[in-house]
């Protein structure tokens, strides 16, 4: 009973609050509610930043990369469409820094750009100017004259001071050879005493082993073997290193690397057996080497005795061609320079190399158009962020990449991601072409996951540099 009374008294005391206190408490509660609602509304307020990008003539710029960064470090990316327009929506209220980049143009920046919450946001107008470059004009030797000077150096190179080692270039940026220079290099090799000595030793070994017994023995047999061996050497040099290399505009020399790990150098030497450097400086399939090897084998088959089927002749020729190149290239890369006279010292400054496996972030510009692309369709991307190596910028934001679609998986509704398989994707960084692949390590091509960028709906993917790419120093 005492507990019940005490409870009743407390209830009565609570009810009998002075009337002057109740309005004050109510006003306080209302004020707190209004303040809380205002804060929630402010926290939830979002808007967008949109605009148009043109050049100085007023023409819209397609594929300009727009990067928007908030005070909290948050970053948002998009690219301009064919009209030069861009928009990033669902941005929290506040001020942002905007940077716009496009290939060949100077970056455009703006600070403290406010988010617009209007139904029709205020556009941001960006006019980009052509990038200024310092151009140095040097009056000097022509490319053919430079090649001739380098050729003088190369024709002094001899292994152990005796054996010609002319067909290797130790220069970082060896100039391409003209057809006449390729002929001179081959002819100088043919008339060198060391070549005659090597042919004589080969003929002697063949005679001792009674190879090509149809030639007989004695001085006559030796002369026939010597003539056949020298003819094969001359045919191979003149048809491959002169004729085919000139027709296909490819270089017959091995281009010494000398940098990287032993594994990287070994792979470079092996890979060089299955590709040729074109006179334009780009690596190409070995059209000249294969064509010359087959043609030389066909001709030598006319004066070598014995019966060989066409398939046997072709197979042996290609096998010895590539196997011989692999062995010779490995020797050049790891051993022969050490014993070659007049080989130039290693250059202190080498051109920068973009390493294989470097990640490359791209944003789709053409080929998606808000829809999933179809197989066989061409797609265009722009580089989302610059690529640097040893402090040097090798590829700039906005550089263009392109490729073809192989396979597509639709975007996942839960994660905003999908998968796409691409082929023949290359990035154009100035005058250098960078091949790209979907895997960071070598292996079978697999689809790469792509992501829909929030606020803009653009497609972003990450690929990787497919092979070491050398960037020549800018003059």
Together in a domain, 222 and 329:
yes
- Report the CATH number at residue 438: 2.40.128
Per-residue pLDDT, averaged over 401-418, amounts to: 69
Torsion of CA 425, 444, 441, 281, to 10 degrees: -40
pLDDT at residue 247, rounded to an integer: 92
Of 286, 314, 341, which closes a domain? 341
pLDDT at residue 259, rounded to an integer: 80
Per-residue pLDDT, averaged over 443-464, amounts to: 82
Per-residue pLDDT, averaged over 299-327, amounts to: 79
Together in a domain, 197 and 305:
yes
Which has the higher per-residue pLDDT, 447 or 225? Answer: 225
**Looking at the domain assignment, is residue 113 inside a domain?**
yes
pLDDT at residue 328, rounded to an integer: 93
DSSP per-residue string spanning 163-216 = EE--SEE-STTPPPPPHHHHHHHHHHHHT-HHHHHHHHHHHHHHHHTT-SGGG-
pLDDT at residue 203, rounded to an integer: 92
pLDDT at residue 367, rounded to an integer: 65
Q: Is the pLDDT of residue 37 over 50?
A: no
**Looking at the domain assignment, is residue 121 inside a domain?**
yes
Together in a domain, 311 and 171:
yes
**Least confident piece of the model among 205-214, 351-360, 401-410:** 401-410
The domain containing residue 211 runs over which residues? 157-341
**Looking at the domain assignment, is residue 5 inside a domain?**
no
pLDDT at residue 195, rounded to an integer: 93
Together in a domain, 218 and 83:
no
**Looking at the domain assignment, is residue 28 inside a domain?**
no
Provide φ and ψ at 452, rounded to 5°: -85, 120
- 307: confidence class by pLDDT, cuts 50, 70, 90: low
Together in a domain, 420 and 337:
no
- 306: confidence class by pLDDT, cuts 50, 70, 90: confident
Domain count, the chain: 3
Q: Is the pLDDT of residue 411 over 70?
A: no
Per-residue pLDDT, averaged over 200-216, amounts to: 90
**Nearest-angstrom CA–CA distance, 463 and 358:** 8
**Looking at the domain assignment, is residue 436 inside a domain?**
yes
Together in a domain, 251 and 192:
yes
**Nearest-angstrom CA–CA distance, 387 and 356:** 13
pLDDT at residue 441, rounded to an integer: 76
Per-residue pLDDT, averaged over 45-60, amounts to: 88
**Nearest-angstrom CA–CA distance, 87 and 76:** 11
**Least confident piece of the model among 22-31, 64-73, 107-116, 139-148:** 22-31
Q: Is the pLDDT of residue 221 over 60?
A: yes
pLDDT at residue 340, rounded to an integer: 92
**Looking at the domain assignment, is residue 48 inside a domain?**
yes
At a CB cut-off of 8 Å and minimum separation 6, what does 461 contact? 361, 362, 364, 381, 420, 448, 449, 450, 451
Note the pLDDT tens digit of each residue in 327-379. 999 999 999 999 999 888 765 557 788 888 899 999 988 766 556 677 788 88
pLDDT at residue 51, rounded to an integer: 92
Q: What angle do CA 152, 273, 169 make, to 5 degrees?
A: 15
Together in a domain, 192 and 221:
yes
pLDDT at residue 171, rounded to an integer: 81
pLDDT at residue 430, rounded to an integer: 85
Per-residue pLDDT, averaged over 415-429, amounts to: 81
Of 311, 341, 371, which closes a domain? 341
**Nearest-angstrom CA–CA distance, 182 and 238:** 9
Which has the higher per-residue pLDDT, 130 or 188? Answer: 188
DSSP per-residue string spanning 59-115 = -B-TT-EEEEEETTS-EEEEE--TTSEEEEEEEESSEEEEEEE-TTB--EEEEEEEP
pLDDT at residue 133, rounded to an integer: 54
- Report the CATH number at residue 90: 2.60.40.10
Averaged pLDDT score across all residues of the chain: 82
Together in a domain, 180 and 50:
no
Give which of 73, 152, 64, 139 is closest to 109, Cα–Cα.
64
Note the pLDDT tens digit of each residue in 247-269. 999 999 999 988 878 898 999 99
pLDDT at residue 40, rounded to an integer: 46
Together in a domain, 373 and 459:
yes
pTM for the predicted model, two decimal places: 0.55
Residue 145 has, within 13 A of its CA and on its CB side, a CA count of: 4
pLDDT at residue 331, rounded to an integer: 93
Together in a domain, 395 and 329:
no
Together in a domain, 332 and 360:
no
For residue 128, the SS3 value is strand
Per-residue pLDDT, averaged over 202-219, amounts to: 90
pLDDT at residue 303, rounded to an integer: 82
pLDDT at residue 23, rounded to an integer: 55
Q: Is the pLDDT of residue 12 over 70?
A: no
pLDDT at residue 5, rounded to an integer: 43
Note the pLDDT tens digit of each residue in 229-242. 998 899 888 998 89
Of 341, 363, 393, which closes a domain? 341
**Looking at the domain assignment, is residue 59 inside a domain?**
yes
Contact 96, 74 (CB under 8 A): no
Q: Is the pLDDT of residue 14 over 50?
A: no
Together in a domain, 371 and 327:
no
């Amino acid at each position: 009973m005492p507990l019940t009374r005490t409870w009743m008294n407390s209830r009565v005391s609570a009810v009998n609050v002075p009337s002057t206190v109740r309005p004050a408490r109510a006003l306080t509660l209302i004020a707190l509610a209004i303040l809380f609602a205002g804060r929630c509304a402010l926290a939830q307020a979002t808007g967008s930043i949109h605009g148009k990008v043109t050049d100085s003539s007023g023409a819209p710029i397609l594929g300009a990369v727009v990067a928007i960064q908030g005070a909290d470090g948050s970053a948002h990316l998009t690219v301009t469409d064919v009209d030069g327009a861009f928009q990033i929506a669902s941005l929290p209220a506040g001020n942002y820094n905007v940077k716009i980049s496009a290939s060949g143009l100077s970056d455009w920046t703006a600070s403290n750009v406010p988010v617009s919450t209007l139904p029709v946001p205020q556009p941001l107008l960006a006019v980009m100017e052509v990038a200024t470059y310092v151009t140095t004009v040097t009056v000097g030797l022509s490319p053919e004259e430079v090649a001739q000077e380098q050729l003088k150096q190369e024709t002094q190179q001899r292994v152990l001071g005796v054996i010609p080692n002319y067909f290797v270039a130790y220069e970082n940026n060896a100039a391409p050879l003209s057809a006449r220079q390729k002929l001179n290099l081959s002819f100088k090799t043919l008339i060198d005493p060391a070549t005659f000595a090597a042919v004589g030793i080969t003929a002697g070994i063949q005679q001792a082993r009674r190879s090509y017994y149809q030639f007989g023995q004695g001085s006559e047999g030796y002369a026939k073997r010597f003539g056949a061996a020298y003819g094969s050497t001359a045919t191979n040099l003149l048809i491959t290193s002169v004729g085919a290399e000139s027709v296909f505009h490819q270089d017959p020399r091995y281009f010494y690397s000398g940098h990287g790990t032993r594994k990287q150098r070994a792979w470079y030497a092996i890979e060089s057996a299955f590709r040729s450097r074109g006179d334009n400086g780009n690596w190409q399939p070995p059209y000249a080497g294969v064509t010359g090897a087959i043609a030389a084998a066909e001709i030598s088959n006319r004066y070598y005795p014995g019966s060989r089927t066409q398939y046997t002749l072709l197979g042996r020729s290609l096998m010895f061609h590539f196997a011989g190149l692999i062995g010779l290239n490995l020797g050049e890369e790891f051993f022969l320079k050490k014993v070659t006279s007049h080989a130039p010292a290693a250059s202190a400054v080498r051109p920068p190399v973009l390493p294989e496996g470097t990640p490359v972030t791209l944003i789709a510009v053409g080929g998606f158009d808000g829809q999933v692309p179809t197989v066989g369709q061409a797609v265009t991307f722009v580089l989302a962020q610059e690529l640097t190596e040893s402090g040097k910028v090798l590829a700039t934001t906005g550089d263009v990449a392109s490729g073809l679609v192989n396979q597509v998986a639709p975007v996942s509704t839960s994660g905003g991601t999908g998968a796409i398989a691409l082929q023949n994707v290359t990035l154009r960084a100035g005058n250098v072409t960078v091949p790209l692949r979907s895997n960071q390590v070598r292996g079978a091509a697999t689809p790469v996951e792509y992501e829909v960028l929030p606020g803009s709906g653009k497609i972003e993917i990450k690929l990787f540099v497919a092979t070491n790419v050398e960037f020549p120093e800018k003059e």
